[in-house]
Every structure is written in structure tokens, then in C-alpha cells.
Chain A
Amino acid sequence: MAANPMYQFNVYRIGPEIKINNIDISFTNASLFMVISSLAILIIFNLGTKRSIIPNKIQLLSELSYSFISKMISDTAGSKAKPYFSFIFSLFMFVLFCNMFGMIPYSFTVTSHIIVTFVLAAFIFIGVTIIGFIKHGLGYLKLFVPSGVPMVLLPLIVVIEVISYLSRPISLSVRLFANMMAGHTMMKVFGGFVVSLGIVGGWLPLGFSVALTGLEILVAFLQAYVFAILTCIYLNDALNLHH
């Protein structure tokens, strides 16, 4: 059973079954890693709030990530997105830490589950849409009508724009989920090859596995970054109506 590359994504209950109104909300390994990631973020960034003019290492880390995300937001969504900084910061850190904790062997990757990424993406999508309608009223619908398009093509373009807008939460969630799942499955498959080929032929897949680990760490960071930056871009659409 352990040789099945999909086995690592299994969710199982930890502790007793918790049911409210017949809905199962038991504490699972997924919940455990969400809690661990959140606690790790809180601990690291709380250690980084020491008031000193010359920062120590953890303080430097937290301040660098603060300015990194701050710069990312101001670059992509402008100064109007300042109030949403803490949300995007939490989002980026949560996704990054979940991805990174998933890189530890025998751990569980929270973001490799479509339901988790989809809830995040749907929340972002709904939030952005609400912000857009609050900021611009019905004028937000101009987002679907790009300027400078010939009248003949307009109906088609509008349809495409609407579909692309509505597919945002799906693309956002599937991108993260698929990347995580594919990477972890591949590592597991190569790990299985190492075991099945034994001491004679196992070296090549072992090398691949090591290389893939490096790649997956890169992907873990990159996907968190992409998730956050796409959120910024969607926010930018809602805040500064360019079309």
C-alpha cells in the first residue's frame, strides 16, 4: 500500500471523530499540518518583531519578507492595494509554509488537495469581485469590454473575457494543487523505483529523486509566489480599472 504514489495524499482522522449537526469536522493530518504551518509562521514572525535598530537573523528574515511582499504588491497592484497587504502576506506565507512542510518526508502537503486550494482561490475570487463592485459599481462590468476592440469582434471578446474571469478561481486553485500533487507523486514514483531496482539499478532514480527534491523546493516557493502575485493582479483589476 505504501508503494502507491497516491497514498501520501490520504487524509485520515487524528483523534476522536468530531461531528457538529452530522457534519464531520474531525481533526485530520491535513488539519495538523495547517496548524503546524500557521504556528510556524506565527512563531517565526513573532520572533522577528524585536525592536532593535540592527536586526538579528530572524528579524532580518521577517523584515525582508515583509518588504518583499510589500514591493510585490505595490509593483503589481499599486498603492491602492495597501489595505490588503496583511491578507496577501498571510496568504503567501500560508501557502509557502504548507508547501515547504510538505517537502519533509512522511509529512502531508496541505496544498496538494484541490479542496484547500479551491477554497482559497474561491475566497479570493469572491473577495476581488466584491471589491470591484464596491469600488466601481456596475462600471466594474467594463472589465469585460476591452477598449479599442472592433465592434464586430466585441461579442466574442466579451464572452471570452467573461469565461476567463469566471475560470480564475479554477485556474488559480488547479495550478497550485496540480503542481504540488505532480511533484510529490513524481518523487514518490522515483522513490519506488529506487526500492524496486535495488542496490544495482537504484542509483539513477535516486539521483533523479535528489534532483527532484531541489526542483520541488523551488516549485514550492514559486507556486506560493505565483499564487500571491496572481491575487495581486486580480486585485489590481478590481482596484484600477484599466480596460
Chain B
Amino acid sequence: MLKKVIFQSLALSFIFTFSAQSAESGGMPQLNPEFWISQIFWLILTFGLLFIILSKFILPKISNNLETRKSQILENIETADKQREETEKKVKEFDKIINDTKVEAKNFFNSERQKVLDNINDKRLSLEKDIEKEILKAEEEINQLKTTSQEKVTKIAIETSSDLVKQLIGEDINKSSLSAIVEDLSKKEMEKHNGI
């Protein structure tokens, strides 16, 4: 602090001695007091006007601009936060909906599959029954056919054999005896055919 003071007083004395010399050597124009008053006057005028215009008109506008920008940015950030929260909520809801629908779809699929399976089972059962019936019918028919065909075969055999005998011998033979022989033979053949 003291150093500064000494330095300043030295500088001042330097300036003033300089000013004393300036009269003859031209020296520093700064120390020529001719225009000092004019400079002070114009300084006060220009700086005063500058200060008044800046403080009254320009600086409030700039600070206003800065503040509105700040508040707008804050507002925007707030709304952005809100919207982000909302979207997060919506995303959660959406996820929930998707999960629910997934579960529903699974359940629906399962129940439908069960239904279809049941249906298929029912149909198969009824079909099996029908088939069994048909088989039974067919077997009966076959049995019937078997018995009837045997009779028919024996009949045909008796007739053909009687015809053959008639042509060979030229007279009728007692049909009952023929039939007895044919039956006996056919029984033997049938037994052989059936593998007894």
C-alpha cells in the first residue's frame, strides 16, 4: 500500500515537472490546460447521455430478454419433464395392456384348443361308434351271407350233380339221397377249408 502511494506521488511529481517543461518543448499535450474544460464538459455530456440511455432503455431490455429466456428455458424443461413422466406412465400402461392382451390371447387360445380337441374327440368317438356299427352290420351280413351261401352252394351242387347224373345215366335219382351225399361232401370240404 505504502509503495503504491510513493509510486503515485512520484508519478504525479513527474507529471507536474513535465508540465512545467511542456511550455517550451511541446511536451505532453495532456498537461496543456487549454481544452481541459472542454474535455470535462464533453465527457460529462457524452458519458451522462450514454449512462442515461443505457440504464433507462437498453439495459432493462437486455436483462428482460435474459430473464425471459431463462424462465422460458426453465418452463420448457418443466414441461419436458412432465411430458417425459407422462410418456413413462403411458409406456407402463401400454406394457400392461400388452401383457393383459397376451394373457387373454393365451387363455383364449388354450380354451379354443380344448374346445377343438373336445370336438375332435367327440367326432372321433361318434365315428368309431358308427364304424363299429357298420362293422357289426357287415359281419352280420357276412355271417348271413355265409350261411345262405352255403345253403345256396349246396342247393346248386345238388342241382348240378342231379343234372350231371341225369345226363350221365339218363334217369332221375332220388333227390334226398343226393342231397345227403352232397351235404356230407361239402361239410367235409368246408371243414378242410376252415382248417379244422
Q: Quick one: closest B residue to A85, CB to CB?
A: B59
Within 8 A of B (CB), among A1-44: 4, 6-7, 9-11, 13, 23-28, 30-31, 34-35, 37-38, 41-42
Which of B4, B9, B15, B26 is A4 in contact with, Cβ under 8 Å? B26
What is the predominant secondary structure among interface residues of chain A facing chain B?
A: helix
Taking CB atoms, residues of chain B closer than 8 Å to A53 are 69, 72
Contact assessment for A34 and B51 in the assembled complex, using a CB-CB cutoff below 8 Å: no
Which of A34, A45, A46, A177 is B47 in contact with, Cβ under 8 Å? A34
B61 beta carbon closer than 8 Å to chain A? yes
Q: Quick one: closest A residue to B53, CB to CB?
A: A42
Q: How far is the CB of B53 from chain A (nearest CB, A)?
A: 6
- Complexed CA–CA distance, A177 and B18 (Å): 15
Contact assessment for B59 and A94 in the assembled complex, using a CB-CB cutoff below 8 Å: no
Q: How far is the CB of A68 from chain B (nearest CB, A)?
A: 12
From B35-43, B120-128, B175-183, the one touching the partner chain is B35-43
Taking CB atoms, residues of chain A closer than 8 Å to B190 are none
Contact assessment for B65 and A51 in the assembled complex, using a CB-CB cutoff below 8 Å: yes
A170 beta carbon closer than 8 Å to chain B? yes
Q: How far is the CB of B52 from chain A (nearest CB, A)?
A: 9
Q: Quick one: closest A residue to B4, CB to CB?
A: A171
Taking CB atoms, residues of chain B closer than 8 Å to A163 are 5
How many residues belonging to A are interface residues under a CB distance threshold of 8 Å?
58
Taking CB atoms, residues of chain A closer than 8 Å to B53 are 42
Q: How far is the CB of A5 from chain B (nearest CB, A)?
A: 11
Contact assessment for A9 and B37 in the assembled complex, using a CB-CB cutoff below 8 Å: no
Contact assessment for A86 and B59 in the assembled complex, using a CB-CB cutoff below 8 Å: yes
A188 beta carbon closer than 8 Å to chain B? no
Which of A59, A66, A87, A113 is B51 in contact with, Cβ under 8 Å? A87
Query: Knowing A6-B26, A26-B38 touch, does A63 contact B62 (C-beta < 8 A)?
Result: yes
A79 beta carbon closer than 8 Å to chain B? no
Q: How far is the CB of B68 from chain A (nearest CB, A)?
A: 8
Q: Interface digits, A80-117 against B, CB 8 Å rule (1 contact, 0 not)?
A: 00000111011001100000000000000010111110
Contact assessment for B29 and A30 in the assembled complex, using a CB-CB cutoff below 8 Å: no
Contact assessment for B37 and A24 in the assembled complex, using a CB-CB cutoff below 8 Å: yes
Contact assessment for B65 and A63 in the assembled complex, using a CB-CB cutoff below 8 Å: yes
Contact assessment for A94 and B47 in the assembled complex, using a CB-CB cutoff below 8 Å: yes
Contact assessment for B62 and A49 in the assembled complex, using a CB-CB cutoff below 8 Å: yes
- Complexed CA–CA distance, A89 and B69 (Å): 21
Contact assessment for A28 and B2 in the assembled complex, using a CB-CB cutoff below 8 Å: no
Taking CB atoms, residues of chain B closer than 8 Å to A116 are 39-40, 43
B157 beta carbon closer than 8 Å to chain A? no
Taking CB atoms, residues of chain A closer than 8 Å to B57 are 46
- Complexed CA–CA distance, A26 and B5 (Å): 36
A143 beta carbon closer than 8 Å to chain B? no
Contact assessment for A164 and B1 in the assembled complex, using a CB-CB cutoff below 8 Å: yes
30 intermolecular pairs with C-beta atoms under 8 Å apart: A7-B29, A10-B29, A11-B35, A11-B39, A24-B37, A24-B38, A25-B38, A27-B42, A28-B38, A28-B39, A31-B38, A38-B46, A38-B47, A38-B49, A45-B62, A51-B68, A53-B72, A63-B65, A86-B54, A90-B55, A94-B47, A94-B50, A112-B30, A114-B15, A115-B30, A119-B40, A120-B43, A160-B1, A167-B4, A178-B11
Residue positions of B touching A, CB distance < 8 A: 1-2, 4-5, 8-9, 11-12, 15, 26-32, 34-44, 46-47, 49-51, 53-55, 57-59, 61-63, 65-66, 68-69, 72
